[in-house]
Chains A and B, each alone.
Chain A
Amino acid sequence: MSDHGHHEEGHHGHDDHGHHAHHETFISKYIFSQDHKMIGKQFLITAIIMAVIGMGMSIIFRLQLAWPGEKFAFSNFFLGDKWAPDGLLDPNMYLALVTIHGTIIVFFVLTGGLSGTFSNLLIPYQLGARDMASGLLNMISYWLFFISSCIMIASCFVETGPASAGWTIYPPLSAIPTAIPGSGLGMTLWLVSMSIFIASSLLGSLNYIVTVFNLRTKGMTMTRMPLTIWCFLITAILGVLSFPVLLSCCLLLMFDRSFGTAFYLSDIFFSGVPLEATGGSPLLFEHLFWFLGHPEVYIILLPALGLISEVISTNSRKPIFGYRAMIVSVLAIAFLSFIVWGHHMFMTGMNPFLGTVFTFTTLLIAIPSAIKVFNYLATIWKGNLRLSPAMMYALGMVSLFISGGLTGLILGDSALDINIHDTYFVVGHFHIVMGAGAIFGMFAGVYHWFPRMYGRMMMPKLGYLHFWMTIVGVYGVFFPMHFLGLAGVPRRYFSNEEYELFKDVQHINVIITGFAIMAAIGQFVFIFNFFYSIFKGRKSTQNPWESNTLEWTAPIERIHGNWPNAIPEVHRWPYDYSKPGYEEDFVPQSVPLKEGESEGH
């Protein structure tokens, strides 16, 4: 296929000496690797393992929600006789599963896994760099991630169970060790794990930022960067600005738990004792948590949007519509995401005037979000859509982003949030827009860049099967939840059985669980496809998707330094697809402009 570009000898003098012949041992190549590609794969595989665990947990609690009081050998098999005697789930364990499920998916899969995989893989490749700015920090970032994953999993095996105060771990529930069994050792481990995770994330983000600003190849100006890189960059900046706040939030909680301070505690009478700690406020925790928490949802979403921007443009054989508008909207979203956190707190007793302010800023976010959606639709208009599995997922994500973003308009309106805050409506909203949305972006990325990672292709037929099982599952699981929410069903309930009020809607829970099981089975199709294709997949060509970005000018073999000779130089933006005046429907960034050709975008 294409060998535009990489045969061209670039101007020497940029960074042509980065490629050394290393003597690599198994350990330095696969374990303590400092190579961005290997680290990306390490993140990906760790994330897949974490995702399977998180998904398994969700099946256990979905079984309970659909058939409360039934006994499930499945639950007993995984949880043992202590937490699921005879297969009957324990209410404390229910909350623990919900908590760890949320934590794993939000932080370990969609933050660490998603950014870790694709920022590492693509930033050096797409910018024309030999590696990340600091390979060592990058390696440390992965290993901290790995350690924090292990601690989080280990916390599930302590006697009193893992943290169970919800993924948002609001104190005092999380601060008083006896308030719920999971607030004992399990909570301590959660906090330790998350602190290490934050360190990992910060090291990673700093590295991404430095790399993007310093290691772009000749000609790669900021406005010639693929949107993927823009999104990774802005995500990293969001992370650097907000994760430290979560760290301080966790540290203060540790102090309250262990050293008798009272940042979050006041006037508490618990099991017969008026606690000594007074003068703090749980609202302080909520503010600190959501100051990270809301940017966090965009830390999750933006990389996924970046990936699909690239996938949609390449597979539409058409430039992304409104490249600059896309950048500006991502910047606007990132900026606004720092001043909307209060929309999680409308009903906390915060001054209603603040509710007014946060409603205003929150609904403003919908404007750049809408621009992005319209631009995606304009991109596929009159395209030549190659519906590869990656493209299927990318389009699926656009659908989910629309569906979930729209319900955000209801939640963001403080007056409407009064009655649906903390109900299943919220659960439906964020699973569609963030959970499934970002997972779809991640899948799009995996199917699209798999040949770049392993030099082989994944099987498209299985990819389609996986896609259909997943999207049907996602809509089947999360759409009905909106109806539950509007019927007033609160989230984080072990069972609704006792309520006359919720008797009628119980069958909806059964339907949801059915779809959840189907979607979960569908993921095994992916896992099989993934691991099978690593070893046995069809051999890829150098540029299998006929793409413009630089990663496809590097040889199929993943070598140290990425390009055997000079690093390619960049002469144009990455979206010259179907450009008039060219025979082929793509013009890689490394191809110089023709005489009289304008860059025109």
Chain B
Amino acid sequence: MALLIFITVVLVVVAIAKIMRSHELATKLNGDQEDFVSLSEIKTQGFLYVLFGVILFTLIGVQMYAWGKYILPSSASVHGDEIDNLFDVTMNLILVTFFITHTVMFAFIYKYYQKKGQKAFWFPHNNKLEMAWTIIPAIVLLSLITYGLSTWSDVMYQESTKDSVKLEVVAEQFKWTVRYSGKDRELGKVNFSTITGSNALGIMTAASVDSSLVDTRKQIAGLERSVKELDSLVEHGWSGKEDELSDAESKLSAFKANERRLLKFQKEHAKDAAYYRGSEDDVIVRDTLYLAKDRMAEFTFRSKDVLHSAYFPHFRAQMNCVPGQKTYFTFTPKYTSEEMKEVAASEGKNFVLFELVCNKICGASHYKMRFPIVVLSQKDFDARVATYKTFGDEFAGK
């Protein structure tokens, strides 16, 4: 089938070419020898260019009319309004510039396409004009820069409020997990060395460090056994085991490094309760990101494996999640999920739910890496988060 279509296409192209070629030979016979493109052709093309311009403008208008309603509804966060304003100002400026410059271009093409007896005007430069179109864009751009940067600093440097929610979003292939700071409004320390099956986020408490160490040693013992076995297999000439062996060896060395790190923690902080402060009462939520209306949410982001990006389209918020580094973003939701439905409806837009989506290529299921967000009233939010166990209880199996 594909082949058939392909052949048809090729044949059609060849046929068109043949027709044109014979047409060209005919014009050539008519004595139009010198010009490689004829004036009549130029006239047609000049006309087509203008026609194209009209169609382009029309279709852009049609698109804005028909698809404008798919553009995200107005911002669901406080700072987002500022961004939306800046966007509108910039967009209007762009549209005006686009239409003016294009109109000028199409008009010139139509007016000055080559004709018999038309002569071009000798006009190599003009300092005044050039000055004008250096200075005017410069002024416009400097104003845009000023406006843009004041918005940027408003968004990126938000003063923390007393009742803000402090939370952490952790990304890994291909899921999100949320951790709230709990009553003490402080997120406990984390380290990737302490990640185990029962502590997927690597939260550090005295107990979790101990148990990671046990876990790591178990791994080391197992790996040492398999390295020995594989080693002897390879020595006895088994082929195809070398990869497995080197794989096991590098894992072994990774876990040994992990053991060293954990021992260091133990040594330095075993008696240091303050070091592990803040972890016990953290709350982990795995299915939904809850936020409270009008209460600032101060996010910390982190990744366990590759780069991800936490993108909150409705809230005009985004931040990459970087392994080995914490990143931050802060926003304050303006509407509860329920209210947002009405807001969107009043703008003629569709809204189902807030979502957090991954926006940095992270692997095969990147396109499925999403997390629902629910914004509740402050009271409901507090009640909701209280239904989850604290990390300390969870880890102790309570």
Task: Please give the residue numbers on chain A whose beta carbons come within 8 Å of chain B beta carbons, in ascending order.
Answer: 1, 73-74, 77, 91-92, 95, 165-166, 170-173, 176, 179-181, 260, 265-270, 273-276, 278, 280-283, 316-325, 347-349, 352, 355-356, 359-360, 363-364, 366-367, 370-371, 373-375, 377-378, 380-389, 392, 395, 398-399, 402-403, 406-407, 409-410, 413-416, 418-419, 421-423, 457, 459-462, 464-465, 468, 471-472, 475, 479-480, 483, 486-488, 490, 492-496, 498-501, 504-505, 508, 521, 524-525, 528-529, 532, 538, 540, 544-545, 575, 577-580, 585, 600-601
Task: Answer whether residue B28 sits at the interface, using C-beta atoms and an 8 A cutoff.
Answer: yes
Asked if B83 and A415 sit within 8 Å, CB to CB, the answer is yes
Which of these, A77, A410, A419, A529, contacts B318 with CB under 8 Å?
A: A419
B210 in contact (CB, < 8 A): no
**B1-37: which residues lie under 8 A (CB-CB) from chain A?**
1-3, 5, 9-10, 13-14, 16-17, 20-21, 23-24, 28, 34, 36-37
Q: Please, how many angstroms separate the alpha-carbon atoms of A273 and B226 in the complex? A: 16
Known: A352-B157, A387-B45, A499-B355. A273 touches B255 (CB 8 A): yes
Q: Tell me which of B108, B133, B191, B307 contacts A170 (CB under 8 A).
A: B307
| A-chain residues with CB within 8 Å of residue B45 when the two chains form the complex | 387, 392, 464
Which residues from A are CB-within-8-Å of B145?
359-360, 363, 413
A399-B105, A501-B355 known; A382+B257 contact, CB < 8 A? no
Enumerate the 3 nearest inter-chain pairs by beta-carbon distance, A residue then B residue, closest first. A266-B324, A488-B313, A349-B327
Q: List 10 A-B contacts (CB under 8 A).
A: A172-B306, A268-B304, A273-B254, A325-B134, A373-B101, A382-B112, A415-B151, A459-B21, A490-B359, A600-B124
Q: Are B359 and A501 in contact (CB under 8 A)?
A: no
CB proximity of B333 to chain A, nearest CB, Å: 15
CB–CB B370/A538 < 8 A: no
Q: Is B253 an interface residue (CB 8 A)?
A: yes
Which of B89-97, B177-185, B234-242, B277-285 interfaces with chain A?
B89-97
Residues from chain A with Cβ under 8 Å of B91 in the complex? 410
Selected contact of B122 from candidates A180, A373, A505, A580, CB within 8 Å: A580
Are A402 and B361 within 8 A (Cβ)?
A: no
Contact A371 B319, beta carbon cutoff 8 Å: no
Task: Check if B46 is an interface residue, CB within 8 A of chain A.
Answer: yes
Given contacts A359-B149, A416-B90, A525-B16, contact A384 B112 (CB under 8 A): yes
Known: A318-B121, A385-B113. A281 touches B325 (CB 8 A): yes
Q: Are B120 and A585 in contact (CB under 8 A)?
A: yes
A576 CA / B168 CA spacing, docked (Å)? 66
In whole angstroms, how far apart are the Cα atoms of A354 and B252 in the complex? Answer: 40
Residues A371 and B134 in contact, CB atoms below 8 Å apart: yes
- Name the contact of B94 in the complex, choosing from A380, A386, A410, A418 (C-beta under 8 A): A410
Interface residues of B (CB under 8 A from A): 1-3, 5, 9-10, 13-14, 16-17, 20-21, 23-24, 28, 34, 36-37, 41-42, 45-46, 48-49, 52, 56, 59-60, 63, 67, 70-72, 80, 82-83, 86-87, 90-91, 93-94, 97-98, 101-102, 104-105, 108-109, 112-115, 118-126, 129-130, 133-134, 137-138, 141, 144-145, 148-149, 151-153, 155-157, 172-173, 191-193, 195, 202, 250-251, 253-255, 257-258, 301, 304-307, 309, 311, 313-314, 316-320, 322-328, 350, 352-353, 355, 357-368, 370
A465 adjacent to B16 (CB under 8 Å):
yes
Residue from the list B17, B23, B28, B324 in contact with A281, Cβ < 8 A = B324
Q: A367 CA to B137 CA in the complex, in Å?
A: 6
For B253, give the chain A residue with the smallest CB separation: A276
Instruction: Give the number of residue pairs across the A-B interface with Cβ within 8 Å.
Output: 396
B212 to chain A, nearest CB (A): 9
Report the bound CA distance from A377 to B108 in whole Å: 8
CA distance A472 to B52 in the complex (A): 8
Q: Name the residue on B nearest A389 (C-beta).
A: B37
Residue among A409, A468, A501 making CB contact with B48, cutoff 8 Å: A468
Given contacts A388-B36, A504-B350, contact A402 B102 (CB under 8 A): yes
State how many angstroms separate the Cβ of A325 from the closest Cβ of chain B.
5
CB pair B366–A493 under 8 Å, yes or no, is yes
Alpha-carbon distance between A82 and B286 when the two chains are bound, in angstroms: 35
Using Cβ atoms and an 8 Å threshold, which residues of chain A touch B93?
A: 409
| B148 A413 Cβ-Cβ under 8 A | yes
Q: Which residues of A contact B148 (CB under 8 A)?
A: 359, 363, 413-416
* Residue in B56, B59, B156 with the greatest tally of chain A CB atoms within 10 Å: B156
Give A413 to B151 CA distance when docked, in angstroms. 10
Q: Are B153 and A352 in contact (CB under 8 A)?
A: yes
A374 CA to B131 CA, complexed, in Å: 11
**Shortest Cβ distance from A511 into chain B, in angstroms?**
10
Contacts A387-B109, A419-B316 given; does A538 touch B121 at CB 8 Å: no
A282 touching B305 in the complex, CB below 8 Å, given contacts A352-B153, A406-B97 = no
Q: Which of B9, B90, B254, B316 contacts A275 (CB 8 A)?
A: B254
Whether B133 and A371, one on each chain, are in contact in the complex, defined by CB atoms closer than 8 angstroms, is: yes
Q: Is the CB of A525 within 8 A of B13?
A: yes
Choice from A367, A373, A475 contacting B138 with Cβ under 8 Å: A367
Among A268, A375, A402, A418, which residue has its beta carbon within 8 angstroms of that of B324? A268
Given contacts A380-B105, A479-B63, A370 and B120 within 8 Å (CB-CB):
no
Are A461 and B141 in contact, CB atoms less than 8 angstroms apart? no
Partner of A374, one of B133, B157, B320, B362: B133
Check A528 against B13 for contact (C-beta < 8 Å): yes
Contact (Cβ within 8 A) A528 B324: no
Given A415-B155, A494-B367, decide whether A524 and B250 contact each other with a Cβ distance below 8 A.
no
Give 18 new A-B contacts, CB below 8 A, not counting A268-B305, A406-B94: A171-B306, A172-B306, A269-B195, A281-B324, A325-B130, A352-B153, A359-B149, A387-B109, A399-B102, A402-B98, A406-B97, A416-B148, A462-B16, A483-B70, A492-B367, A525-B13, A528-B13, A579-B122
**Contact for B123 among A173, A363, A381, A486, CB less than 8 A:** A381
Are the CB atoms of B109 and A380 closer together than 8 Å? Answer: yes
Q: Give A360 to B254 CA distance when docked, in angstroms.
A: 44
